[in-house]
Chains A and B, each alone.
Chain A
Amino acid sequence: MTARGDFSRQSFLGEDAEQVLAETRVAIVGLGGGGSHIAQQLAHVGVGHFRLIDPQDIEDSNLNRLVGATQDDVINGTPKVEIAKRVIRSVRPWADVEVSKTEWQAAADLLKDAHVVFGCVDGYRQRMHLETAARRFCLPYIDVGMDVTRLADRHYAVAGQMISTRPGGPCMRCLGFLTQQRLDREENDYADAGINPQVVWTNGTLASLAVGAFMRLLTPWFDSSTEFEWLELDGNNQLVSRSRQPDYSIKGPCRHFTSNDLGDPFLDLSLRRAPKDSS
């Protein structure tokens, strides 16, 4: 047992895994049904640094799935990032947790500071923007999302996906997940956005897949040479399978993000003052 805790049950991850995880900084965007699960699991595996971003306070309708939330939180209107911070610290009191109760676009400093970004946001367009940000800062991006589609009267399809992409590899547009048709439909029909159904067990399954993808990135327990993962969850039949869509969609190297799109294009070193001569 170390000062951080006893990680012997996950020693198969590699002799340096505990140190690697303790030094890793993760950004989680969205601390609702998916993000709260991910935060909790990452605390358990021993991640040491968290950057949590979500503008919302908890509401009564979140209690069906938000890990760590209580009725008192609903009464007090506790920010979701504070609930996640509390969960993380209750597991790992030594964890470094920075929170931002803002839209993620206003917290780019926290994204830049991370090694891996988890996206738990609503909608295709926000996923597109968040992956764009991750690419610009050269960060692996792990996305989760679920949906419930009404097929007929009292007949619903529950489905979700976990997609992991890396700089230099195919992006979610290359994979065929972020299609122009989906992006356009969401933008053109923005006024029709309704309540997005979410349930705890599906969120939890997808979060576990996301944490699995993260662990494969950081620890050598399993060969993770693939440039991406897209796992589909058939929530009705409780089945997880590899998506076949990339087999038909990927057409060569990523054409959406080039090496010119890296870093802050507005960084102007000429504005930095030269150090004063101390002589």
Chain B
Amino acid sequence: MMNDAGGALAGAVIEPELAAIAAICSGTVKYMEEAGRRYVHMVGLRFLVRGADQQMDALLCLDYPNGTYPTKLYLPANLGLGLNWNETAFILAKNWFTWSWSGVSPNQPPLAILGGHLEAFR
């Protein structure tokens, strides 16, 4: 198992479909819900931003109720990069930034949804 501050703890139960995401995170990866929406919360997600390593917590919404933006990725900081950052959200009692990155289908595995959003930073 691991705590939310990071660091593996023996015996953590990870949903099978989240195992691939957990492999690129330093902390827990789990489903969470708020206001009827389902999220994947990731502690210490490792990803590339313009070729440079980044690591931060992230929140992936799997059922965002907007046909143009059916899924969304939220990060704890605005990474800039000239993206159309358009919202500061408050989800699960935390402050998150998100941006307009449309058309990532919810009808695919969580890892593929995550990859679709991380394309914005390549």
Contact = CB atoms under 8 A, between A and B. Distances in A.
B is a partner of A = yes
Interface of A: 103-106, 108, 125, 129-130, 132-133, 136-137, 180, 183-184, 187-188, 190-191, 255-258, 260-261, 263-266, 268, 270-271
B108 interface: no
A271 B65 contact: no
30 contacts: A103-B95, A105-B90, A105-B95, A105-B96, A106-B95, A129-B88, A129-B90, A129-B91, A132-B34, A183-B65, A183-B66, A184-B66, A187-B69, A187-B87, A190-B100, A191-B84, A255-B36, A256-B35, A256-B36, A261-B34, A261-B35, A264-B93, A265-B92, A266-B4, A266-B94, A268-B3, A268-B5, A270-B3, A271-B3, A271-B5
| Most chain A beta-carbon contacts within 10 A, residue among B67, B95, B100 | B95
A136 B36 contact: no
B48 interface: no
B32 interface: yes
Given A264-B93, A265-B93, A190 B3 contact: no
Given A184-B65, A188-B66, 12 more contacts: A105-B89, A108-B95, A132-B34, A132-B91, A183-B65, A184-B68, A187-B66, A187-B100, A261-B34, A261-B35, A264-B93, A266-B94
Contacts of B90: 104-105, 108, 129-130, 132-133
Nearest to A255: B36
A105 B74 CA distance: 14
Given A190-B84, A261-B34, A271-B3, A266 B67 contact: no
Interface string B77-116: 0000000101111111111100010000000000000000
